[in-house]
């Protein structure tokens, strides 16, 4: 078991700072998800940990050892690349045991690990194929296999499931998670899919433009988003964040901002499932109704703003209808519009 | 005429200039050489007549022919692996992100754009006894004076060096193009697995470069039998036929001795050799090479 720790790590290419002074710690045996929109620096962070990029500044520690300047092979890591990086001239089996051959493991051990990985990943029938004869999802599983057989204490994954179909993805998520727990691997898992991050990770690090927006448990990110960006990124549908300024009638119907936050700077955040539809609430017009079976999403316009309410079951509401929206005590998250940061809200 | 017929006629008309040139200057001379090799050389008072295999018998008895063949063999052995090896090395070196990359690329490629005659003249100066660059360096370190081009022991070696110098840069371009098509993440994956650079080269890069190597190999083989410009400038096949190559011998027989029938016979041997090389390489090697 090994911890991974970054302190003040920066990676700059000329003027662009792909990763800008980030610090975080992954406890041994934990799975941390690096989450964020495209181009926010997730892959770069992972490559810094792997040693494929040299940090411009800061310290990287793996298993309490400073590896900032260590070569990739000296860091005790395995990695799954975003583009798989399979060797096109080698068979699936040869690809998987490539690293074991490099380390000159004996044949019995190699075969045993290959067999185990092939079983876990369902690659048994494909071992003699070349990568070009595999589908994208199968290639991805081969790349996973190469990381599994390495038995490294730290495993880095760059969007390893992005090419799988929905069902296989759910299965593989569970497989990866099980394997990671069973072998006690510390895992850094890059994804831009928030469902993947929320369901798999012990800890989620949400990045934006090279900086960390929030670092916490999945529940933290969902229940106590530190910024408007986090609130809008995590959860589907995203949290409703509405500036109070110019919202006619809100003074009476909705909670007032906390002391010290003037009305014109305040934004009220409320999760869709907490937004009530009641008689005498803040009047809004229904724009769209989406019936999902177990629940219904009601999208309504409040002046120029759109909000979504999620109600259980099927509700009788039609487009164009006028409804009243109510925010219960304790469901309001308050953000300061001037810096996008959280002020207070449900604990 | 239907549109289809018209398109067909247009197609053939477009092909015609290139095809007639090819037939006139390549196919016909090859066929003519084969025919001529069965006739005697026409002399003012004795027109050429059919003599069967006499020319070939004379050739087998000709020690200079054998000398040229053996020299050509050593020339090929000396130039091909060396120039390909150098080309791969230079390509890998230039492909890495190094400072002044384009300058280095240019420098390696320069020998290729120079005409062979110019290259030969430059090297003629390098090899000059006493004043030449090589001799000056050798003397600086107190070595013995050598007449590189004038001595039968070193002359072939000297022309091999020139050929390698000329060819390696050209082959490098092909390897460079192939290397740029290989994803850098392969190297990164290997590095994470702890593979040394040599291991990565041996197990990954070199196999992936095999298609290029086949192509380069065929070119190098053909060049080994085709390159004579620098022999003309530097040694004229001498001293004492130490650097005579097959094509140069054909040139000598045909245009110095004017024994055209015998030159045609030698040409047939050269054609046969090249055909065998191409056949072996495309037929046999190609099947053993991985293509993506
Ligand atoms: N070699 C490089 N040179 C210059 N800029 C780079 C380089 N590699 C990445 N960047 C920049 O760094 C930023 C972060 O890139 P990165 O690949 O880490 O994004 P990402 O979060 O992995 O995105 P995605 O989800 O699309 O994979 C991007 O703006 C990118 O343009
Ligand atoms: Mg990425």
Q: With respect to residue B163, please indicate whether it lies within any of the assigned structural domains.
A: yes
Q: How far is B289 from chain A (nearest CA, A)?
A: 9
CB atoms inside a 10 Å sphere around CB A243: 17
Query: Which residues of chain B have a CB within 8 Å of the CB of A78?
Result: 192
How far away, in angstroms, is B95 Cα from ligand 1 center?
22
B253 vs A248: which has the higher pLDDT: B253
What does pTM read for this prediction?
0.80
Q: Which residue of A has its CA nearest to B186?
A: A85
Sheet arrangement for strand A154-158 = A77-80, A154-158, A186-191, A31-35, A203-208, A211-216
A155 contact partners, CB below 8 Å, separation of at least 6: A77, A78, A79, A80, A147, A180, A185, A186, A187, A188
A127 vs B123: which has the higher pLDDT: A127
Collapse the DSSP code of A342 into the 3-class scheme (helix H, G, I; strand E, B; otherwise coil) and give the result. Answer: strand
Instruction: Determine whether the interchain pair B186/A85 forms a contact, defined as Cβ–Cβ distance below 8 Å.
Output: yes
Whether residue B223 has pLDDT greater than 50: yes
* Element holding B286 (H helix, E strand): none
Instruction: Determine whether the interchain pair A146/B189 forms a contact, defined as Cβ–Cβ distance below 8 Å.
Output: yes
ipTM reported for the complex, 2 dp:
0.81
* Residue pLDDT, tens place only, B143-200: 777 777 777 777 888 888 888 888 888 898 899 899 988 988 999 999 999 899 999 9
Confidence of residue B292 (pLDDT cuts 50, 70, 90): very low
Q: With respect to residue B130, please indicate whether it lies within any of the assigned structural domains.
A: yes
* Element holding A91 (H helix, E strand): none
Q: With respect to residue B170, please indicate whether it lies within any of the assigned structural domains.
A: yes
Kindly tell me the sign of the dihedral angle through the C-alpha atoms of B248, B250, B253, B256: negative
Collapse the DSSP code of A227 into the 3-class scheme (helix H, G, I; strand E, B; otherwise coil) and give the result. Answer: strand
Q: With respect to residue B54, please indicate whether it lies within any of the assigned structural domains.
A: no
Please tell me if residue A107 touches chain B, with a CB cutoff of 8 Å. Answer: no
The Cα–Cα gap between A54 and A60 comes to 10
Collapse the DSSP code of A260 into the 3-class scheme (helix H, G, I; strand E, B; otherwise coil) and give the result. Answer: coil
| Tokens standing for residue B7 | 């398109």
Q: Which residue of B has its CA nearest to A89?
A: B290
* Residue whose CA lies nearest to ligand 1 atom number 7: A13
Q: How far is A93 from chain B (nearest CA, A)?
A: 15
- How many folded domains does chain B comprise? 1
What percent of chain B is modeled with pLDDT above 90?
22
Q: How far is A158 from chain B (nearest CA, A)?
A: 12
Under-50 pLDDT residues of chain A: 347
* Amino acid A344: pLDDT: 66
Q: With respect to residue B282, please indicate whether it lies within any of the assigned structural domains.
A: yes
What CATH code is carried by the domain that includes residue B232?
1.10.3720.10
- Nearest CB among B188, B194, B208 relative to A85 is that of B188
The Cα–Cα gap between B86 and B109 comes to 12
Confidence of residue B290 (pLDDT cuts 50, 70, 90): low
Q: In Å, what is the CA distance from A46 to each residue of A67, A155, A233, B222? A: 14, 10, 21, 49
Which domain, by its residues, includes B241? Answer: 62-288
Pairing of strands A77-80, A211-216: unpaired
Q: With respect to residue B24, please indicate whether it lies within any of the assigned structural domains.
A: no
Ligand 1 pocket residues where CB is under 6 Å: A 13, 16, 18, 36, 38-44, 192
Q: In Å, what is the CA distance from B16 to each residue of B11, B31, B232? A: 9, 20, 36
Rg from Cα positions in chain A? 24
What is the atom index within ligand 1 of the atom nearest the CA of A210? 14
CA B287 from chain center: how many Å?
A: 24
Please tell me if residue A104 touches chain B, with a CB cutoff of 8 Å. Answer: no
- Residue B147, φ and ψ in degrees, nearest 5: -95, 90
- Nearest CB among A72, A83, A89 relative to B191 is that of A72
Which residue among A10, A14, A39 is best mutated to probe the pocket of ligand 1, counting the most ligand atoms within 8 A of its Cβ? A39
Query: Which residues of chain B have a CB within 8 Å of the CB of A81?
Result: 185, 188-189
Whether residue B243 has pLDDT greater than 60: yes
Pairing of strands A322-326, A240-243: unpaired
Whether residue B1 has pLDDT greater than 80: no
* Residue pLDDT, tens place only, B72-106: 899 999 999 999 999 999 898 888 776 777 787 78
Query: Which residues of chain B have a CB within 8 Å of the CB of A72?
Result: 188, 191-192
What is the atom index within ligand 1 of the atom nearest the CA of A82? 27
Q: With respect to residue B137, please indicate whether it lies within any of the assigned structural domains.
A: yes
* Amino acid A283: pLDDT: 86
The Cα–Cα gap between B88 and B2 comes to 54
Measured distance between the N- and C-terminal CA atoms of chain B, rounded to whole angstroms: 45
The Cα–Cα gap between A52 and A72 comes to 7
What is the atom index within ligand 1 of the atom nearest the CA of A40? 21
**A108: DSSP letter:** H
Contact A323, A284 (CB under 8 A): yes
Q: With respect to residue B6, please indicate whether it lies within any of the assigned structural domains.
A: no
The Cα–Cα gap between B233 and B120 comes to 6
Q: In Å, what is the CA distance from A100 to each residue of A94, A128, B145, B209? A: 10, 18, 54, 24
| Tokens standing for residue B40 | 């005697």
Whether residue B289 has pLDDT greater than 70: no
Instruction: Determine whether the interchain pair B194/A103 forms a contact, defined as Cβ–Cβ distance below 8 Å.
Output: yes
């Amino acid at each position: 078991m090994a911890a991974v720790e970054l302190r003040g790590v920066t990676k700059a290419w000329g003027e662009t700072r792909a990763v800008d002074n980030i610090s975080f710690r992954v406890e041994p045996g934990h799975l941390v998800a690096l989450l964020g929109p495209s181009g926010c620096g997730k892959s770069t962070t992972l490559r810094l940990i792997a040693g494929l990029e040299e940090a411009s500044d800061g310290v990287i520690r793996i298993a309490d050892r400073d590896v900032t300047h260590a070569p990739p092979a000296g860091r005790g890591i395995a990695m799954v690349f975003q583009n798989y990086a399979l060797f096109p001239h080698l068979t699936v089996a040869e690809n998987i045991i490539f690293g074991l051959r490099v380390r000159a493991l004996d044949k019995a051990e190699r075969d045993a690990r290959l067999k185990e990985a092939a079983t876990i990943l369902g690659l048994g029938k494909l071992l003699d194929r070349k990568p070009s004869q595999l589908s994208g999802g199968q290639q991805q599983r081969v790349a996973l296999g190469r990381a599994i057989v390495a038995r490294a204490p730290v495993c880095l994954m760059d969007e390893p499931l992005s090419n799988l179909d929905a069902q296989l993805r759910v299965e593989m998520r569970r497989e990866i998670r099980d394997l990671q727990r069973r072998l006690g691997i510390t895992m850094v898992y890059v994804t831009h899919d928030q469902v993947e991050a929320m369901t798999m990770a012990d800890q989620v690090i949400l990045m934006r433009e090279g900086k960390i927006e929030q670092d916490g448990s999945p529940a933290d990110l969902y229940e106590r988003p530190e910024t408007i960006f986090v609130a809008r990124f995590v959860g589907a549908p995203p949290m409703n964040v509405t500036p109070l300024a110019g919202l006619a009638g809100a003074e009476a119907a909705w909670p007032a901002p906390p002391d010290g936050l003037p009305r014109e700077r305040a934004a009220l955040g409320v999760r869709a499932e907490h937004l009530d539809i009641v008689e005498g609430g803040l009047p809004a017009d229904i724009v769209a109704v989406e019936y999902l079976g177990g629940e219904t999403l009601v999208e309504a316009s409040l002046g120029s703003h759109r909000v979504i309410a999620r109600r259980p079951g099927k509700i009788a509401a039609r487009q164009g209808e006028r409804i009243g929206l109510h925010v219960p005590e304790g469901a309001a998250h308050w953000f300061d519009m001037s810096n996008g940061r959280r002020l207070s809200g449900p604990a | 005429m239907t549109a289809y017929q018209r398109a067909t006629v247009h197609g053939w008309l477009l092909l015609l200039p290139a095809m007639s040139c090819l037939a006139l200057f390549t196919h016909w001379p090859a066929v003519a050489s084969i025919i001529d090799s069965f006739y005697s050389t026409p002399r003012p008072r004795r027109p050429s007549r059919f003599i069967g295999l006499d020319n070939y018998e004379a050739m087998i008895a000709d020690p200079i022919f054998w000398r040229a063949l053996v020299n050509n063999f050593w020339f090929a052995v000396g130039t091909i692996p060396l120039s390909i090896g150098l080309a791969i090395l230079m390509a890998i070196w230039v492909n890495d992100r190094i400072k002044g990359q384009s300058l280095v690329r240019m420098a390696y490629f320069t020998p290729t754009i120079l005409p062979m005659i110019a290259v030969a003249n430059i090297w003629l100066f390098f090899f000059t006894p006493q004043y030449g660059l090589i001799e000056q360096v050798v003397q600086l370190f107190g070595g013995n004076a050598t007449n590189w081009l004038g001595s039968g022991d070193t002359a072939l070696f000297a022309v091999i060096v020139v050929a390698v110098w000329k060819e390696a840069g050209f082959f490098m371009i092909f390897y460079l193009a192939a290397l740029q098509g290989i994803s850098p993440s392969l190297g990164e994956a290997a590095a994470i697995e702890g593979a040394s650079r040599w291991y990565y080269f041996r197990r990954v890069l070199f196999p992936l470069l095999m298609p290029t190597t086949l192509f380069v190999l065929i070119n190098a083989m053909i060049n080994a039998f085709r390159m004579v410009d620098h022999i003309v400038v530097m040694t004229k096949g001498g001293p004492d036929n130490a650097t005579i190559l097959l094509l140069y011998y054909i040139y000598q027989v045909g245009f110095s001795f004017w024994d055209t029938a015998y030159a045609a016979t030698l040409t047939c041997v050269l054609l046969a050799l090249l055909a065998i090389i191409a056949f072996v390489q495309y037929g046999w090697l190609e099947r053993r090479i991985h293509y993506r």
